[in-house]
Amino acid sequence: METPSQRGFKKFEKTYAFPLTFPTWLCIILIMENKKETAKRPSKKVLMAEIQAKGVDVKIVQSLGRANIDTLVFVKDLLS
């Protein structure tokens, strides 16, 4: 007699072209959990320095200092 968890696993197993055994299933979960990383965002100071290094006037860069980081990234991409 099958337990409810075994029935649920068989239903899950039928949706894939290959059978998922418990070790394979566990490895997939562990690999997915290890890939959770966040990308580090650049700071305003770094972005402003990069924009100024591209030849933008100091007063304009100081004015851009009031903008948010997304806007600074956008302006930097436009200058590239």
pLDDT tens-place string over residues 5-37: 555 555 555 555 556 666 666 666 666 666 666
Helices 69-79 and 44-53, packing angle to 10 deg: 20
Q: In this structure, are residues 34 and 21 in contact, taking their beta carbons and an 8 Å threshold?
A: no
Q: What is the pLDDT of residue 41?
A: 82
Q: What is the pLDDT of residue 19?
A: 60
Model pLDDT for residues 31-75, shown as the tens digit of each residue: 666 666 666 888 999 999 999 999 999 999 999 999 999 999 999
Closest among 52, 55, 49, 47 to 71, alpha carbons compared: 47
Residues 6+ apart with CB under 8 A from 12: 20
* pTM of structure: 0.52
The full set of domain ranges for the chain reads 4-34, 44-79
Residue with tokens 């959770």: 36
